[in-house]
């Protein structure tokens, strides 16, 4: 079947249909008009011709297939003179497809099947694995009193930790007054935030990496919150002063001081290197089995690199420190940001992820905290420690 004949029929049918659509869309459209009926009949007639031509092409293809099977027609191999693209274009199957639209199969020669196929020939695409976010160590934030608030500032009402002491009153005599003095401290919340940018294409193609970015931003916010808690702890005043020849002794004195003030110690906060030295001190003593158990004198140890080395804090954390927060740490994603160069990020397909949190930590009960340090006793004559 000549390809040009089929192309002419298809083009003619398209022209007839275009003309029919123009008449149908006209304001004076008349479905019974002779011209419209004529165009419909002409389009149907041309369609029948095209269908017959395609049917004839299918019959020819079936006949060629039978002739090949009985050996009366050579196979559709092509000459090896062309490259792979040329071999495909000049094959009988491709030429038949051009003419009649049916599928065919061509054999391509001159492929070097002797060469060893290696990963160098077809390099594999490496798997892309996003490293998991690290798990944070035990935090002081999880130990303190946490309260969610509805505004940006908090009025903290402070009052004496102990109740006024009642007196023994003889019958018929005046009872003593128990005055309670309160103070009010205003605490303003501060925003902890961090952001990062990435393209929309990365978000679509690498969702696991975007999750990693988002989780990293949230982790950065929470790490900053923990750092602020430690800053508030070290900035506190009015703590008990506990000293000893060793940190182990100083902590035990601190526990006693907090107990004496009417509180129950719940944490020992100290630098990780001090905690390591403390474990070694316990290990080399008579209670080596207690080393590395995460507690000292029965009180859990919370190590934090923000604490000044050489200082530890024994505290009833729930009573001593309060953490106020506006809501949970949140992640916001937008494409409506404007870049540092003043150009719209939306027009550049750039997304901005912003992690944010509002909080403040304050010391409410300083008498529930003991600040522990090591005091080196004076040396006696001969360079030896003075007798206790």
At 230, is the secondary structure helix, strand, or coil? Answer: helix
Tokens standing for residue 153: 């500032």
The span from the first CA to the last CA of the chain, in angstroms, equals 117
d(CA 18, CA 31): 16
| CA distances (Å), origin 367, targets 51, 186, 236, 263, 363 | 98, 20, 11, 9, 10
Specify burial of residue 330 (Cβ count, 10 A radius: 0-12, 13-18, 19+). middle
Q: Per residue in 196-211, pLDDT tens?
A: 888 888 888 888 888 8
Tokens standing for residue 37: 């009926």
Tokens standing for residue 308: 């000044």
Q: In terms of DSSP bridges, do strands 183-188 and 153-158 run parallel, antiparallel, or are they unpaired?
A: antiparallel
- pTM for the complete prediction? 0.60
Per DSSP, 342 falls in state S
**For the chain, which residues score pLDDT lower than 50?**
1, 73, 75-76, 78, 108-111, 289, 378, 380-388
Degrees to nearest 5, angle at CA 54 with 48 and 56:
105
- For the chain, what percentages of helix, strand and coil (3-state, to nearest 5) are there? 40, 20, 40
Provide the pLDDT for residue 234: 94
Provide the pLDDT for residue 123: 66
Task: Go through the domains of the chain in sequence order and give each one's CATH number.
Answer: 3-26+34-100 (no CATH), 145-159+183-374 (3.30.2400.10)
Provide the pLDDT for residue 118: 64
Strand partners, 197: 352
- The answer to whether 340 and 238 are in contact (CB under 8 A) is no
Specify burial of residue 47 (Cβ count, 10 A radius: 0-12, 13-18, 19+). middle
């Amino acid at each position: 079947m000549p390809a040009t004949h089929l192309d002419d029929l298809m083009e003619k049918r398209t022209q007839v249909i275009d003309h029919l659509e123009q008449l149908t869309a006209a304001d004076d459209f008349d479905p019974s008009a002779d011209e419209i009926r004529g165009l419909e009949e002409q389009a149907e007639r041309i369609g029948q011709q095209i269908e017959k031509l395609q049917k004839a092409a299918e019959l020819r293809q079936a006949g060629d297939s039978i002739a090949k099977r009985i050996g009366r027609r050579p196979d559709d191999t092509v000459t090896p003179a062309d490259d792979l693209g040329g071999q495909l274009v000049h094959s009988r199957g491709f030429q038949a497809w051009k003419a009649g639209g049916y599928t065919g199969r061509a054999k391509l020669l001159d492929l070097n099947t002797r060469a060893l196929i290696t990963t160098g020939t077809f390099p594999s695409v490496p798997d892309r694995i996003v490293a998991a976010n690290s798990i944070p160590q035990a935090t002081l934030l999880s130990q303190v009193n946490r309260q969610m608030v509805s505004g940006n500032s908090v009025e903290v009402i402070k009052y004496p930790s102990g109740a006024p002491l009642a007196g023994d009153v003889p019958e018929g005599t005046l009872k003593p007054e128990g005055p309670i003095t309160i103070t009010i401290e205003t605490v303003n919340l501060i925003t902890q935030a961090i952001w990062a940018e990435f393209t929309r294409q990365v978000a679509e193609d690498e969702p696991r990496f975007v999750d990693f970015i988002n989780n990293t931003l949230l982790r950065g916010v929470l790490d900053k919150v923990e750092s602020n808690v430690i800053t508030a702890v070290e900035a506190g005043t009015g703590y008990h002063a506990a000293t000893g020849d060793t940190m182990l002794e100083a902590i035990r004195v601190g526990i006693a001081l907090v107990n004496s003030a009417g509180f129950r110690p719940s944490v020992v906060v100290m630098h990780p290197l001090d905690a390591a030295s403390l474990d070694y001190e316990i290990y080399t003593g008579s209670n080596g089995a207690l080393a590395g158990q995460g507690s000292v004198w029965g009180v859990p140890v919370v190590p934090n690199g923000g604490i000044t080395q050489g200082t530890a804090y024994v505290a009833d954390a729930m009573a001593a420190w309060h953490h106020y927060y506006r809501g949970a740490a949140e992640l916001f994603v937008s494409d409506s940001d404007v870049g540092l160069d003043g150009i719209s990020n939306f027009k550049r397909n750039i997304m901005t992820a912003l992690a944010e949190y509002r909080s403040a930590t304050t010391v409410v009960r300083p008498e529930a905290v003991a600040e522990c340090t090591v005091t080196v006793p004076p040396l006696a004559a001969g360079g030896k420690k003075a007798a206790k």
